Amino acid sequence: MAREDYETVIGLEVHAELSTKTKIFCSCPTEFGGKPNTHCCPVCMAMPGALPVLNEKVVEYAVKAGLATGCEIEKDSKNDRKNYFYPDLPKSYQISQFDKPLCKNGYVEIDTDEGRKKIGITRIHIEEDAGKLNHDDFGRGSLVDLNRAGVPLIEIVSEPDMRSVQEADKYLKKLKSILEYIEVSDCKMQEGSLRADVNISVRKKGAKEFGTRTEMKNMNSFKSITRALEYEIERQIEVVENGGKIEQETLRWDEVSGKTFSMRDKEDAQDYRYFPEPDLVAIRLSDEYIQNIKDNLPELPESRKERYIEEYKLTQKEARTITASKYLSDFFEKSVAICKNPKAVCNWLLSDVARIINEKELEDSEIPFTPEDMAELISLIEKGTISSKIAKDVLEIMFENPEKPSKIIEEKGLVQISDEGAIRAVVEKIIEQNPQSVSDLKGGRDRALGYLVGQAMKETKGKANPQMLNEMFKEIILK
Ligand code: ADP
Ligand code: ZN
Ligand code: MG
């Protein structure tokens, strides 16, 4: 059978670190980094006798995430111990939620080639993060840093509803965008604030049953998720094609070799010996509590997109691309509020700004200049102070050395030449140097005009006002 005869099935378990100020069961700070073991106390270091107290903000953020993804909120919920041994887990169990998660049965909608598609969310539960092992600068073993132990997480488990790598990518991007909008997580993947366990299987098209799945844990970049999935799909199909069987196992994705390796057999729920956490009381939520969070949900990407089409007359695609990123979208709105030119701001953000961000491998939030600077750049073009060609150069400089565009233009002498006398002087010089083009233009060959304007632009290093050059050439040559 051929590659096209197989269907891919993907389900994601996404962990998002919540941006609460303090940890889930103690008042230590959640701040990223810091000297090892400085954000710790007896509770998160698991000293005997230390007792956890649930941070209410964690419940609020999880409920917020549930409501933003269409989940039912469980009014009676509880915490459970998930037991396993690993040196970064000081209690030898993780406080998580087993059979009564805070949220369940939701969905996230994505756009596919065949239209909108709902990806089911099985559940969202709260749990604590583990510490971190540092294997590197210590020859004879590993050192543990517990700063991250006890940082609150939500785990968002999807249904196995995705059917391609593209769908998985879109789902994760959409989910990230929703979490950013409701401001429960900063979703910084490079800092591990958002990471995904990726489950994947293949089956022959038309088959009723799912194939056996493998899982790759803790993936934290879109690029490696895509690469890992593509590799794993090929590997699984090949195994099946050669009459082999897929083992249910946890794999490790190796970025350097671009391959997956077996890590361990898959654990079952029973291996974790879940039981209710005896040191914490059950979580009971009132209708008013839930309703209040619902009433205060901010605008979500979907409705913001619709509003941009209405209010700013952006196209579907433009609106979708800008609103996918909360940062970019907020940036856009602030800029538009100043320069009142939504189309121009949109074009700059989606073309040149996006291109430079891509080249420099920056996140949107790392754009080094402000929405005010963007608005100023656009106004300078509108006023004719600079040409749009020069504006592109100014933008490049703004990324290197974030100063006000007006200041950059002044310092580098980039102001557009719109003085009639100066334009005339250039035009006369170019006419004198290019008699052939001049007679071509007189003879009706319009292309010669473009050439002459081009020469004048070159002469002025792109600073002459092209409109004025055009008119001046015509006036002198064709009069
Ligand atoms: P566990 O919690 O033990 O990892 P779950 O049954 O809760 O296992 O499933 C975890 C994830 O795996 C879910 O996101 C689910 O959608 C996905 N999944 C389950 N079965 C398959 C399968 N056959 N192929 C791909 N993904 C799957
Ligand atoms: Zn602590
Ligand atoms: Mg799993």
Residue identifier of the C-alpha nearest atom 2 of ligand 1: 269
Atom of ligand 1 lying closest to residue 161 CA: 16
Same domain, 176 and 320: no
Is 333 a member of any domain? yes
Q: How far is the CA of 155 from the centre of ligand 2 (A)?
A: 21
Which atom belonging to ligand 1 lies closest to the Cα atom of 212?
23
CATH number reported for the structural domain that contains residue 454 in this entry: 1.10.10.410
Residue ending a domain, among 289, 314, 333, is: 289
Cα 418 to Cα 58: distance, rounded to the nearest angstrom: 60
Ligand in nearest proximity to the CA of 53: 2
pLDDT over 80 at 280, yes or no: yes
> Are residues 350 and 256 both part of a single domain?
no
CA of 197 to the centre of ligand 3 (A): 6
Residue 247 counted as domain residue: yes
Q: Both 324 and 372 in a single domain? A: yes
90 lies in a domain?
A: yes
| Ligand 2 centroid to residue 132 C-alpha, Å | 15
- Can you give the pLDDT at residue 281? 96
Q: Using a 6 Å CB cutoff, which residues line ligand 1? A: 9-13, 157-160, 199-201, 210-211, 213
In a domain? residue 281? yes
Angle at 86 between CA 281 and CA 78, to 5 degrees: 15
165-185 pLDDT tens trace? 999 999 999 999 999 999 999
Residue 218 lies in a domain: yes
In a domain, 272, yes or no: yes
> How many C-beta neighbours within 10 Å does residue 161 have?
21
Starting from the CA of residue 161, give the closest ligand: 1
- Residues spanned by the domain of 212: 3-289
Q: Is residue 76 part of a domain?
A: yes
Contact 19, 168 (CB under 8 A): no
**Cα-to-centroid distance, 44 and ligand 2 (Å):** 4
Ligand 1 atom closest to 266 (CA): 3
What is the number of the ligand closest to the CA of 39? 2
Total count of domains within the chain: 3
Q: Tens of pLDDT along 70-103?
A: 999 999 999 999 999 999 999 999 999 999 999 9
Pair (114, 221) in one structural domain: yes
Q: Whose CA is nearest to atom 17 of ligand 1?
A: 11
Q: Is residue 294 part of a domain?
A: no
Q: For Cα atoms 211, 216, 217, give the angle at the middle one, nearest 5 degrees.
A: 135
Domain match, 429 and 343 both? no
Q: List, as one string, the DSSP characters of 249-307.
A: EEEEEETTTTEEEEEEEPPPGGGGT-EE-TTSPPEE--HHHHHHHHHT----HHHHHHH
433 and 315 both lie in a single domain:
no
Which of residues 357, 382, 412 is at a domain's end?
412
* Whether residue 163 sits in one domain with residue 27: yes
CA distance 208 to 473: 73
Q: Which tens digit of pLDDT belongs to each residue from 214-266?
A: 999 999 999 999 999 999 999 999 999 999 999 999 999 998 899 998 886 66
CA of 267 to the centre of ligand 2 (A): 29
Average pLDDT, the chain: 93
- Cα of 204 vs centre of ligand 3, distance in Å, is 24
Residues 285 and 384 in one domain: no
- What is the CA(157)–ligand 1 centre distance, in A? 8
Last residue of a domain, one of 257, 289, 321: 289
Q: Are residues 354 and 459 part of one domain?
A: no
Q: What pLDDT sits at residue 412?
A: 84
Residue 267 pLDDT level (bands cut at 50, 70, 90): low
Question: What atom of ligand 1 comes closest to residue 13's alpha carbon?
Answer: 14
Sign of CA dihedral 137, 24, 21, 46: negative
DSSP 56-99: HHHHHHHHHHHHHTTPEEPSEE--EEEE---TT-TTSEEEE-SS
pLDDT of the residue at 1? 63
Angstrom distance (rounded) from CA 315 to CA 128: 42
**CA gap 153, 179 in Å, rounded:** 12
**Tokens for 215?**
């899982």
Cα 468 from Cα 307, distance rounded (Å) = 39
Whether residues 333 and 469 fall in one domain: no
Quickly list H helices, 132-221.
Answer: 165-181
Ligand closest to 123 (CA) is 1
User: Could you tell me if 345 and 273 lie in one domain?
Assistant: no
Interatomic CA distance for residues 310 and 314, integer angstroms: 8
51 and 130 in a common domain: yes
